[in-house]
Amino acid sequence: MNTDTTLYFYKGSSFLSNTHQCSFSWYCGKANSKEEEFKSAEQALMYGKAKLFGDSVMAEAIMNAKDSSSFRSLGRRVQEFDNKAWVRCRSDLMKSILTAKFGQNELLCEKLV
């Protein structure tokens, strides 16, 4: 009998994974931003990172990318990146993204309880 009830967030097949494919809208809260439609929490996080550091070229590239490995790769190339600022902001950014992801997807939200 398997008694392991651990859910692994990093696994792509888990609905908890940042790479889990699901559509949701999110507004990153930066000036001149609009609500955007995202394919995954990973895409939204990398987009938010680009917007945080004022890299609109990379933000657009992230929106046009097709998969999570591309989102991450583009996110690593954000211009004017400041790790101290990123560490201060990333948790709040992700909370906002996850609130949108689970708040707009009833089936995913039901799995949380």
Query: What pTM did the predictor assign?
Result: 0.83
In the chain, where does DSSP find H-type helix? 41-52, 56-64, 68-75, 83-103, 106-112
Q: How many CA atoms lie within 13 A of 20 on its CB side?
A: 17
The rounded distance, in Å, linking the Cα atoms of 110 and 82 is: 37
What is the spatial distance between Cα 64 and Cα 32, in angstroms, rounded to a whole number?
19
- Using the predicted structure, report yes or no on whether residue 104 has a pLDDT greater than 70: yes
Is the model's pLDDT at 107 over the cut of 90? no
- β-bridge pairing 36-38 and 24-26: antiparallel
pLDDT in tens, 50-83: 999 999 999 999 999 999 899 999 999 999 999 9
Check: CB of residue 26 under 8 Å from CB of residue 96.
yes
Q: How far apart are CA 90 and CA 2, in angstroms?
A: 35
H helix or E strand, kind and range, residue 28? none
